[in-house]
């Protein structure tokens, strides 16, 4: 049964919660990106399906990324595809999905990404 999880906007006030979360998904997008807009309901549906994972979003052109940008500057500056979905475990990058994927692939990639014991953080589409 879906649990109607809300995707939280990542900002300085909830950044500590994000870091302390066991497993969290961060979707990086920009407000002008049509693919990002199309991906948002897909990742919302995925967040409703996958329990025990916190979902966040960071919209690069809307600012409010102070601590994220400071702690992960290289990662943020090297985003090549929008949207980019980042999987973190206890604040450490574990897996990366570049570009939009469909619902089934998003669920599979997130489950597989968190299941990896020796992470290979990047997967290109």
pLDDT digit string, tens, across residues 85-110: 999 998 889 999 999 999 999 999 99
Residue-range domains of the chain with CATH: 8-123 (3.40.30.10)
How many other C-beta atoms lie within 10 A of the C-beta of residue 42? 19
> pLDDT for 52-79, tens place per residue?
999 999 988 776 666 676 676 777 777 8
pLDDT surpasses 50 at 6 = yes
Reported as a pLDDT band with limits 50, 70 and 90, residue 4 is low
Q: Give the 3-state secondary structure percentages of the chain, helix then strand then coil, rounded to 5.
A: 40, 25, 35
> pLDDT for 14-38, tens place per residue?
888 888 889 999 999 999 999 999 9
pLDDT surpasses 60 at 2 = no
- Cβ contact 116:88 at 8 Å: no
The 3-state secondary structure of 104-118, one letter per residue = HHHHHHHHHHHHCCC
User: Which pLDDT belongs to residue 91?
Assistant: 86
């Amino acid at each position: 049964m879906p649990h109607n999880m809300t995707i939280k906007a990542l900002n300085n006030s909830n950044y500590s919660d994000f870091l302390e979360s066991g497993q969290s998904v961060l979707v990086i997008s920009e407000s002008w990106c049509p693919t990002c807009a199309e991906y948002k309901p897909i990742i919302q549906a995925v967040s409703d399906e996958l329990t025990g994972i916190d979902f966040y979003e960071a919209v690069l052109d809307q600012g409010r990324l102070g601590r994220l940008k400071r702690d992960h500057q290289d990662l943020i500056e090297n985003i090549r595809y929008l949207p980019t979905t980042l999987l973190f475990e206890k604040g450490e990058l574990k897996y990366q999905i570049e570009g939009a994927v469909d619902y089934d692939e998003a669920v599979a990639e997130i489950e597989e990404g968190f299941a990896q014991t020796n992470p290979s953080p990047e997967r290109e589409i």
